[in-house]
């Protein structure tokens, strides 16, 4: 099956109370680990590419790897999304490169400017059959070149439910990333995480049936944090979004959940472990391979947390 947009995925996810995992990819091993997991679990898939990934690996390489995933998994619906496009020109380029979804993130701009920037992308992308994600509110933390708000009181920057109807109506956007207290990176929280589920509920009342997106939703799994720290790393205060909170959001109209940090930590943890246990190892296959295996098993686990395992067929 060819690449698809997220439209059918989100319709089924909303109807049946689950979310589709959106996993960021930067190289072959990460992509292979994700692909092996979705093939085993028969889950729909969104692969995401950021501007940083494009600069690191070149879009021609990443797109070729993704094309292999699509060819080898004809029974799995797969969408590819630009994560955090910051300008019309960036989004336009990714549309031209064959992506089926793009995100325009103008959330740092005033509300009216966010509407204007989003509508420009929507008008162009829709003319090419590509869907668009936008964002309201601002997340904290740092991920690649995406820098969130630094205010300790993230509640000041949550999405405003009173803006969502106007925003969606004026832009024609297909899905909406809403700030509900999550954060980018591995250091999401300084104390026990609390997400604003009341914001999701209010938005759903105003936009029933409309798909929402959670960014900054990696859980910073203890297994990998412990391995990184055991083998020379320094991440004692890393803290992510509890998986039970992700599962709850997936039942409340959140149809897409972004996961990146957990992928990086799984790969890094296994590489550190191999280097520590076999200090003479110099064959990349011997340390990237275990990293790929760890990603596969972690993603398989996440697909059950999201509730999308076994849902591939209904999203075709």
Active site residues: 83
Question: Tokens 């955090």 label which residue?
Answer: 84
Instruction: Name 173's Cβ contacts closer than 8 Å, sequence gap at least 6.
Output: 118, 122, 132, 133, 134, 167
312 CB-side CA count, 13 A: 22
CA pair distance 234, 238, nearest whole angstrom: 9
CA pair distance 93, 115, nearest whole angstrom: 20
Q: What is the largest CA-CA distance in the chain?
A: 60
Query: What is the spatial order of strands in the sheet that 183-184 belongs to?
Result: 146-147, 140-143, 183-184
């Amino acid at each position: 099956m060819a690449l698809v947009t997220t439209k059918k995925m989100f319709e089924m996810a909303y109807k049946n109370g689950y979310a589709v995992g959106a996993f960021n990819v930067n190289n072959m091993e990460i992509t292979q680990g994700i692909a092996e997991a979705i093939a085993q679990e028969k889950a729909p898939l969104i692969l995401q590419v950021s501007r940083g990934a494009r600069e690191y690996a070149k879009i021609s390489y990443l797109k070729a790897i993704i094309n292999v995933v699509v060819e080898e998994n004809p029974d799995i619906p797969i969408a590819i999304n630009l994560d955090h496009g910051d300008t019309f020109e960036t989004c336009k380029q990714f549309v031209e490169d064959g992506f089926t979804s793009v995100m325009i993130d103008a959330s740092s701009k005033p509300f009216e400017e966010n509407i204007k920037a989003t509508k420009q992308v929507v008008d162009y992308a829709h003319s090419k059959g590509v869907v668009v994600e936008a964002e309201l509110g601002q997340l904290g933390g740092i991920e690649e070149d995406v820098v969130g708000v630094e205010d300790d009181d993230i509640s000041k920057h949550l999405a405003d439910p009173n803006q969502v109807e106007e925003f969606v109506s004026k832009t024609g956007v297909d899905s909406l990333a809403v700030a509900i207290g999550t954060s980018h990176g591995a250091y999401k929280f300084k104390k026990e995480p609390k997400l604003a589920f009341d914001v999701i509920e209010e938005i759903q009342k105003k936009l029933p049936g409309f798909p929402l997106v959670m960014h900054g939703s990696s859980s910073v799994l203890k297994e990998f944090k412990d391995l990184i720290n055991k083998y020379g790393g320094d991440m004692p205060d890393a803290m992510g979004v509890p998986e039970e909170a992700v599962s709850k959001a997936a039942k409340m109209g959140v149809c897409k959940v972004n996961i990146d940090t957990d992928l990086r930590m799984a790969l890094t943890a296994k590489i550190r472990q191999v280097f520590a246990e076999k200090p003479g190892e110099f064959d990349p296959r011997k340390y990237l391979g275990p990293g790929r295996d760890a990603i596969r098993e972690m993603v398989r686990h996440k697909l059950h947390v999201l509730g999308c395992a076994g849902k591939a067929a209904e999203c075709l």
